[in-house]
Amino acid sequence: MKIILIRFSIILGLLAATQVFAEDIKRDFSTVMQGAKIFKENCSVCHGHHGQGNPGWRTRGSDGKLLPPPLNGSGHAWHHTLPILRQRVLYGGIPTGGSMPPFRDKLKLPEIDAIIAWLQSRWPDDIFKKWENANRLEKRR
Ligand code: HEC
């Protein structure tokens, strides 16, 4: 278990190093619409059609695991910078004891970025600004 966790953190470290400096997400209309479609096909079954999450997301399910949280700006997904959001989707939550499946074999990075662009088009402006500032600070580090 320890070895798996160490290996996982090395992967995360490498990913963070390469992706922190990656370009920002494209946010044009067609990317956002593409993101909406990919989200509906892959994520809405758990996170809800509008990314609203499971109403009981602050509590745990009967198996002791977290329920799918909102991604529409009302939860805490916006506390994660872009590299972390991408990692959550690529690797899912299973390696850290959660239940979200990984999407690294199913979706390409531009598709994941399109989903993030669509989700963020639903975030309140002040939440999005805070997220942008956090990303800017991280890039400067
Ligand atoms: C089988 C259900 C399921 C599917 C399908 C799923 N998720 Fe999740 N997701 C979860 C759960 C449950 C969590 C909470 C962490 C955990 O237990 O893995 C989560 C957490 C997240 C987080 C972290 C949010 C936070 O506030 O920390 C993001 C981002 C996310 N999911 C995005 C997605 C995207 C994008 C897709 C589709 C490509 C997707 N999820 C598909 C169940 C799912």
- Given its phi and psi angles, is residue 23 left (phi above 0), alpha (psi -120 to 50 degrees) or beta? beta
Distance 103 CA to ligand 1 centre (A): 10
Q: Give the number of other CB atoms < 10 A from CB of residue 73.
A: 20
Residue holding tokens 């580090």?
141
CATH code assigned at 122:
1.10.760.10
d(CA 98, CA 11): 18
From the CA of 119, give the closest atom in ligand 1: 35
Total structural domains in the chain? 1
Distance 73 CA to ligand 1 centre (A): 14
Q: What pLDDT tens digit does each residue of the chain (141 aa) get?
A: 666 666 666 555 555 554 444 468 999 999 999 999 999 999 999 999 999 999 999 999 999 999 999 999 999 999 999 999 999 999 999 999 999 999 999 999 999 999 999 999 999 999 999 999 999 888 887
Encode pLDDT of 53-73 as tens digits: 999 999 999 999 999 999 999
Residue holding tokens 């662009």?
117
- 94, 99, 100, 106: which to mutate for ligand 1, most atoms within 8 A of CB? 100
Residue nearest to atom 8 of ligand 1 (CA): 100
Range of the domain at 54: 2-140
